[in-house]
Amino acid sequence: MIGTPLLPEIRELIEKRNFSALQRIFQDWLPVDLAELISDLPEDEQAILFRLQPKGLATETFEYLDFDSQQNLLKALTKKHVSQILNSMSADDRTALLEELPGPVAQELLKLLSFKEFKIAKTLLAYPEESVGRLMSPDFLSVKKDWNINQVLEHIRTYGHESETLNVIYVVDDAGKLNGELFARDLLLSAPDRKVDEIIEEEKIVTLTASQDQKDALDAFKRYDRVALPVVDSNGYLIGVVTIDDMLDVAEEEETEDIQKFGGIEALEEPYMDLPILQLVKKRAVWLVVLFLGEMLTASVMAYYEGELAKAIILATFIPLIISSGGNSGSQAASLIIRSLSIGEISIRDWWAIMRREILSGLALGCILGVIGIVRVIGWAIAFGHFNTQWTYIAFTIGLSLVGIVLIGTLSGSMLPLLLKRLGLDPAVSSAPFVATLVDVTGIVIYFSVASLILGGILL
Amino acid sequence: MIGTPLLPEIRELIEKRNFSALQRIFQDWLPVDLAELISDLPEDEQAILFRLQPKGLATETFEYLDFDSQQNLLKALTKKHVSQILNSMSADDRTALLEELPGPVAQELLKLLSFKEFKIAKTLLAYPEESVGRLMSPDFLSVKKDWNINQVLEHIRTYGHESETLNVIYVVDDAGKLNGELFARDLLLSAPDRKVDEIIEEEKIVTLTASQDQKDALDAFKRYDRVALPVVDSNGYLIGVVTIDDMLDVAEEEETEDIQKFGGIEALEEPYMDLPILQLVKKRAVWLVVLFLGEMLTASVMAYYEGELAKAIILATFIPLIISSGGNSGSQAASLIIRSLSIGEISIRDWWAIMRREILSGLALGCILGVIGIVRVIGWAIAFGHFNTQWTYIAFTIGLSLVGIVLIGTLSGSMLPLLLKRLGLDPAVSSAPFVATLVDVTGIVIYFSVASLILGGILL
């Protein structure tokens, strides 16, 4: 079904201007598949193919195109065709396109809208980015609660064609205040002569507001297992509807932000490939420089121990091994805690239970690595035939340091996200690189302290 | 609406055995909210509250409870009550519960099912974990294509009550083969005397198979903007339906796995708090030990350069700073590329374009850190009054190494996920700690090579 393997054939047909063959190919395609094919074509061929699709599907195909292809088509198609598409697009997809376009272009397009659609577009664009308002559609169907099911069915057949969803019909009073939701399920299961208010449960409406964060909407959809939720203003008047298909996209965006933050990078607003390199560098440079400045502390701490280092160069050779173990255990703990916080498995209230678990885990993990470290150092010395009692002391320095550092890593990685959340900051800021940097400095101090303790008078 | 702030009041009412007051409170609650409240109560009070809910909602509330509370209730309720709930649960939620329970308990419960439900449960449990079969429900409604809309509406009113969804009705032939989908939207918008086959589009059905991975189902839901998808067997016979509410949970699980893997930890199958500490340690120890063994290479490499270190201890003090910069830039690149791969923004085909972008980004980021590094070393030397030309050489050693290491970090971080994917492995294995470990070894080699080059004959 999907276009890509057919691409060479189709491009040949385009070159031969064999439009009837192309039309035959496309008549059974779904708009989303046609949109994918169009997006894969060079810009000058996109418009040719777009015009060939079966009547009535143009707008739907357009809605599935990526922003680049949409912009390209807006340039290539006639003003009349563009106006037709924009006016028939669903309001939420149009908002997404308009917010992506440069200001002057968006203004030009707004002029092509009918008065009614223009008003809708202006209203939706007035809501802040990432708010529910940008996702909602004002095309919903409302009925009155004293109607019977037959009246509702008649009303739907007459006025339902433009509605964003028919899986839920909204029940409003004469003033437009939301009274209840009539689910398609209940509508279909009820006898034709039953009244709407015998079916709906007025007390149990879940609503969104237009200024709410899209993440809140996502949480509500998950919690209440809905396929659509109504949006009301501060007085309880119904102003729009959000459908679940937009929620999968919101979920994807939210997760992408979380993952990018955890990788130590500012969230990108555009796909990786579309971002100009200069901006890509900027998004990464900020955090990288901050981390670098933090990590400079390690050089200062190391300089402080230069005396010890000069006496026992061997200590220096284990530094990367030791500090990286702290960083790794910290990354593990941070990824666990950030994610559990984000999906609501744990909350700040649980900090003490989490701390107990992490102290135990950290000690266990530290002991595992510590034992491996001791075996490695002693084994190595024996293998190279220069084993003496000094090596035993060095081995235990490494082993004990590892226990301490892994414990500190685990604790920092798990407590930092909770602390950030407590301070009202985003827990995801405690990224893997951030935790690693924090633990590096502590790790060096622990290592040299243990070394002084064990090796004082022997090597140092 | 949500229970937690009310918890003390409600527990007081439970202690006073004031059931009528409790019932008054709950009659307007949604099952999901009641379930949340019950989950927050101590085990011995859960059953009391569960029994108090309004008639007809017990099963729905039960479906919203977490597994721990579900198990607790199964023990506390009468056999008859348990049997009632299990038989009326939707098949997909029941599968999820049964797969969570220990084998013997699940077997006991299966015995409580009616013959029909038992057969369904057995069939669904036979599909592999994480497969579409485990999510699907065999309760769907099917109609014939020569029926008219009125007949369909009548059929729904008579047989639709048990159907998992009524947002889509399936059209099958006499043998049960899937012919098409009738969306509630089209059903509601069509005149009562129209025939089903005038409305459906036979060629354009999107189907799932029971053995497919749940991730594939998620992709199909996103791509085709559906609220339900039919599941067919290898002969095209309709065997079940998957609804979108399960997809938000699948999306969440998939993302959690990705994030945990990126943090360098095996994906947990249970919530963080429910996992016994021993298992938590095991999930983390495997990767931590692998990374530790890998990182041991740094000690060997460092030992190789012991001569250089002995001559210039100062070199050792910058090692953590330098290798961590490589690790950080690698984590950034890996998080970007893994995520873009996972949501399909890029594919392996794009490797060359990605490599070009990353070489440019890596050089730019390396130069930024390099310049800061040079300024830091020279500035420090001047500030402490021991500046001489040697320090200039050291500064440039640090600066040049940083450019090389950040470039290598960026390249490893971006290319490794692509390479893993090419080899048919999971790109998410190239976690932040994994990339950091890889880059650490390379970083030390680069650093000492640059040092030999610049400082040879001066310090070394």
Tens-place pLDDT, residues B37-83: 888 888 888 888 888 877 678 888 888 888 888 888 888 888 888 88
CA distance B110 to chain A (A): 27
Whether residue B50 contacts residue B38, with contact meaning beta carbons closer than 8 Å, is answered with: yes
Instruction: State the pLDDT at residue A357.
Output: 92
User: What average pLDDT does range B248-252 have in this prediction?
Assistant: 83
User: What average pLDDT does range B258-263 have in this prediction?
Assistant: 82
Among the partner-chain residues A299, A316, A432, the one whose CB lies closest to the CB of B302 is A316
User: What ipTM was assigned to the predicted interfaces of this complex?
Assistant: 0.75
The domain locations on chain B are: 4-127, 142-250, 272-455
Q: Answer whether B272 sits within 8 Å of A303, measured CB to CB.
A: no
Whether residue A125 contacts residue A110, with contact meaning beta carbons closer than 8 Å, is answered with: no
Among the partner-chain residues A189, A338, A433, the one whose CB lies closest to the CB of B156 is A189
By DSSP bridging, strand B238-243 and strand B228-232 are antiparallel
By DSSP bridging, strand A208-209 and strand A178-183 are unpaired
**Confidence check: pLDDT of B369 > 90:** yes
Query: In chain A, what residues touch B316 (CB-CB under 8 Å)?
Result: 302, 309, 313, 316, 319
Confidence of residue A1 (pLDDT cuts 50, 70, 90): very low
- The larger pLDDT score, comparing residue B450 to residue A312, is at B450
Directed axis angle between helix A389-422 and helix A319-342, to 10°? 30
Q: Mean pLDDT across chain A, nearest whole number?
A: 87
**Confidence check: pLDDT of A81 > 60:** yes
Among the partner-chain residues B252, B372, B440, the one whose CB lies closest to the CB of A320 is B440
Q: Decide which of 3.40.50.150, 3.10.580.10, 3.40.225.10, 2.60.120.260 is the CATH code for B142-250.
A: 3.10.580.10
Per-residue pLDDT tens digits for B350-360: 899 999 999 99
CA distances from B358 to A288, B47, B333, B371 (A): 15, 58, 8, 20
**Confidence check: pLDDT of A2 > 70:** no
Closest-CA residue to A19 (of A49, A61, A57)? A49
Amino acid at A241: V
Q: Does domain A272-455 have CATH number 1.10.1270.20?
A: no
Instruction: State the pLDDT at residue A4.
Output: 52
State which residue of chain A sits closest to B286, comparing Cα positions.
Answer: A365
Instruction: State the pLDDT at residue B146.
Output: 92
Among the partner-chain residues B191, B256, B320, the one whose CB lies closest to the CB of A343 is B256
Q: Answer whether B328 sits within 8 Å of A433, measured CB to CB.
A: yes
CA distance B84 to chain A (A): 23
Query: In chain B, what residues touch A262 (CB-CB under 8 Å)?
Result: 259, 262-263, 335, 432
Amino acid at B176: G
How far apart, in whole angstroms, are the C-alpha atoms of residue A129 and residue B238? 42
Query: In chain A, what residues touch B248 (CB-CB under 8 Å)?
Result: 218, 221-222, 244, 247-248, 251
Per-residue pLDDT tens digits for A23-65: 888 877 888 888 888 888 888 888 888 888 776 788 888 888 8
Structure tokens at A246: 């937009």
- The larger pLDDT score, comparing residue B184 to residue B388, is at B184
Among the partner-chain residues B247, B295, B310, the one whose CB lies closest to the CB of A324 is B295
How is the beta sheet containing B168-172 ordered, strand by strand?
B142-143, B168-172, B178-183
Amino acid at A89: M
How far apart, in whole angstroms, are the C-alpha atoms of residue A256 and residue A244? 19
CA distance A192 to chain B (A): 10
Name the CATH superfamily, with its identifier, for domain A4-127: MgtE N-terminal domain-like (1.25.60.10)
Q: Answer whether A224 sits within 8 Å of B376, measured CB to CB.
A: no
Q: Which of residues 230-249 of B touch A (CB under 8 A)?
A: 244-245, 247-249
Q: Which of residues 344-403 of A touch B (CB under 8 A)?
A: 345-346, 350, 353-354, 357, 360-361, 364-365, 368-369, 372-373, 376
Residue B191 CA neighbour count, 13 Å, CB half = 3
A142-252 belongs to which CATH class? alpha beta
Instruction: State the pLDDT at residue B3.
Output: 40
Amino acid at B100: E
User: What average pLDDT does range A174-193 have in this prediction?
Assistant: 90
Winning range, highest mean pLDDT, from A267-271, B108-112, B118-122, B367-371 = B367-371
**Confidence check: pLDDT of B433 > 60:** yes
Among the partner-chain residues A30, A227, A249, the one whose CB lies closest to the CB of B227 is A227
Structure tokens at B234: 């290898």
**3-class secondary structure for A152-216?**
HHHHHHHHHHHCCCCCEEEEECCCCEEEEEEEHHHHHHCCCCCEHHHHCCHHHCCCEECCCEHHH
Residues 6+ apart with CB under 8 A from A4: A36, A37, A40
CA distance A249 to chain B (A): 8
Instruction: State the pLDDT at residue A5.
Output: 59
Q: Which of residues 68-97 of A touch B (CB under 8 A)?
A: none
Confidence of residue B371 (pLDDT cuts 50, 70, 90): very high
* CB-CB neighbours of A355 under 10 Å: 14
Q: Answer whether B167 sits within 8 Å of A185, measured CB to CB.
A: yes
SS3 A341: helix
- The larger pLDDT score, comparing residue A431 to residue B120, is at B120
Q: Which of residues 132-171 of A touch B (CB under 8 A)?
A: 153, 156-157, 160-161, 165-167
Instruction: State the pLDDT at residue A203.
Output: 67
Per-residue pLDDT tens digits for B129-164: 889 998 899 889 999 989 999 999 999 999 998 888
SS3 A53: coil
| Pick among A219, A259, A262, A394 to test the B interface (most B CBs inside 10 A) | A259
State which residue of chain B sits closest to A364, comparing Cα positions.
Answer: B281
How far apart, in whole angstroms, are the C-alpha atoms of residue B365 and residue B111? 64
| β-strand partners of A242 | A229
Query: In chain A, what residues touch B406 (CB-CB under 8 Å)?
Result: 288
> Does A24 contact B at CB distance below 8 Å?
no
Cα four-point dihedral sign A234, A236, A239, A240 = positive
How far from chain centre, in Å, is Cα A280? 18
